[in-house]
Chain A
């Protein structure tokens, strides 16, 4: 079973934005991903679901280039280039965004500085002129409003003293400002109350477009009520145990993960 439920090859499907082939990854000497294959094309929204410890966050972090993971075998191509040959910052500038499950606090570096530096790093990569302070503010203001964040937050330290919900909103704000080609959102819904979840989902939906793709890593179905995925993949024991459309997520909501884990173990 692979995760390739995208339009079959041979049709007029666009070339893959992300293509993962038989990826095996170890963490701390233990094999956590045991043969993941997945194709994500522009315009698609994929949900990666699975019980705790199934490897879904590992997948997101490996793709973003977090150190500490050992890639044993397999490959990942991003727009045709070898993703694992790129440093994390190069991946980001190429258009890959990781929304963190636990965004870190960096007191002393303010949000505006980080956002502007990040935007301009991406623009340099694309051969575009850097935004000056005025242009940057005009870009960021509308998005702050969308995420229902107070503008004063720009002068605060990155995530400093933010609540869990504010941190997640900030992640989505960063995503909106950076406009990545591929957003990997690692349990962005965790710890959110229903109002915050709606705001975050609205932000994600704003980014849905034909030229980009979104991969939602989530434990629960509830996020998918607001951000409706095209494909749902269930990870169990480091493999994609099942793929389907959004009805699979609803089935998981009813039946839990045990039946899939049991099948994966069989």
Chain B
């Protein structure tokens, strides 16, 4: 597998744009991936990742090599979000280079991804462009990463680098869309650096088509009193792997991750989230809701590490999975690792079928069984969907999730 990747890289390396990732960073990433090797399912970190889907991909070379921008013509894009600046990337390249780019920042070489995030190295090697944003003050930005039909059978490497200056605020929407009709890799990486007191609300919607193999690798660093809120909805792709590592480096930094994953058919959604509390008074809230219908597999691994240097930390995890299909599978792995006293920590993880008490309550009101099931599934996802504060985006997320669960569409419970 590594040989195939290296072969594809050697074929295109000379044509990859220096402006997106420096040649040196690419080379370092290549060597690191070569050293680490391709992950195996026998490794606990990769146990539920659909590695075979990656292995079956026809190519790792990017669909677009020249930094000339993709063609937006003919693409069906979601309506603009009021008050948001839109950045459109097609097949990993900015579609319309901005006449002015006040938020565009210089690309800084990042640290190499750790072994459990090694798919991020692919993006370092092959990236064709980058949305590098330096935020001062208050902003609202929507970054659309669209994979077009032209990318079918190839790969796209969406790349996002964010730096928020102290006390700045950003509402960020990151959406992955597009449905090529042949196996296509979408390999995204996101790096977030929040200065002291900075606040980032990061909405992430993954709505790729069912031929897409999707992976995104995220790292975030929070300074003192910074706040990072992630609201993630994963409903697309044949196979999706999300790996995120968040470091609460400054005193009082707060992180909130609320996510849903809904899979059907033979979809696989696998998320590995690691949060490190390194400073006093840091806070984490993790909420995950997954529904696996038909033969889908959903996995969530939430590892919270509280270092000795983080007294007064507060960490909460609530992970819940709902198995709807006879051949479906859900694996939730909460893990709290605490190395100091005076912390508040709680976690809960449950997987199962719909609650019979709730079901009986609805039946006892005359609601038919299929509507009751649909309502309860909708309720199961409700607390995360309601946390999406932008009405248009919430509606898009709700319709996307309901599209995965046709019985919900039928009951008309959507807002």
Complex Cα distance, B362 from A117, in Å, reads 10
A100 within 8 A of B: yes
Nearest CB of A to B322, in Å: 13
A211 within 8 A of B: no
Contact with B along A215-238 (1 / 0, CB 8 A): 000000000000000000000000
A35 within 8 A of B: no
Complex Cα distance, B378 from A109, in Å, reads 8
A16 within 8 A of B: no
Contact A66 B360 (CB under 8 A): yes
Contact A87 B363 (CB under 8 A): yes
Query: How many chain B residues have a CB neighbour from A under 8 Å?
Result: 27
Nearest CB of A to B233, in Å: 15
Q: Which B residues lie within 8 Å of A113 (CB)?
A: 375, 413
Q: Which A residues lie within 8 Å of B171 (CB)?
A: none
Contact B366 A157 (CB under 8 A): no
Q: Which one of B70-78, B278-286, B379-387 is at the interface?
A: B379-387
Contact with A along B166-180 (1 / 0, CB 8 A): 000000000000000
Contact A106 B369 (CB under 8 A): no
Complex Cα distance, B411 from A178, in Å, reads 20
Query: How many chain A residues have a CB neighbour from B under 8 Å?
Result: 29
Contact B358 A89 (CB under 8 A): no
Contact A107 B364 (CB under 8 A): no
B389 within 8 A of A: no
Q: Which of A100, A107, A109, A178 contacts B366 (CB 8 A)?
A: A178
A127 within 8 A of B: no
Complex Cα distance, B367 from A98, in Å, reads 13
Q: Which A residues lie within 8 Å of B358 (CB)?
A: 104, 106
Q: Which B residues lie within 8 Å of A66 (CB)?
A: 360, 364
Contact A108 B367 (CB under 8 A): no
A252 within 8 A of B: no
Given A106-B379, A108-B380, A113-B413, residue A118 in contact with residue B367 (CB < 8 A): yes
Q: Which A residues lie within 8 Å of B372 (CB)?
A: 89
A27 within 8 A of B: no
Residue of B355, B362, B364, B381 contacting most chain A CB atoms (<10 Å): B364
Contact B365 A118 (CB under 8 A): yes
Contact A104 B364 (CB under 8 A): no
Contact A92 B379 (CB under 8 A): no
B357 within 8 A of A: yes
Given A104-B358, A109-B413, A117-B371, residue A88 in contact with residue B363 (CB < 8 A): yes
Given A66-B360, A106-B361, residue A89 in contact with residue B367 (CB < 8 A): yes
Report 27 cross-chain contacts, Cβ distance below 8 Å, ordered by A residue.
Answer: A65-B360, A65-B363, A66-B360, A88-B360, A89-B366, A89-B367, A92-B363, A92-B364, A93-B366, A100-B364, A107-B379, A108-B381, A108-B383, A109-B376, A109-B378, A109-B379, A109-B382, A109-B413, A113-B375, A113-B413, A114-B362, A117-B411, A118-B367, A121-B365, A122-B366, A157-B379, A178-B365
Residues of A within 8 A of B (CB): 64-67, 87-89, 91-93, 97-98, 100, 103-104, 106-109, 113-114, 117-118, 121-122, 125, 157, 174, 178
Residues of B within 8 A of A (CB): 355-358, 360-369, 371-372, 375-376, 378-383, 386, 411, 413
Known: A92-B365, A109-B376. 5 other contacts (CB 8 A): A65-B360, A92-B364, A108-B381, A114-B362, A117-B411
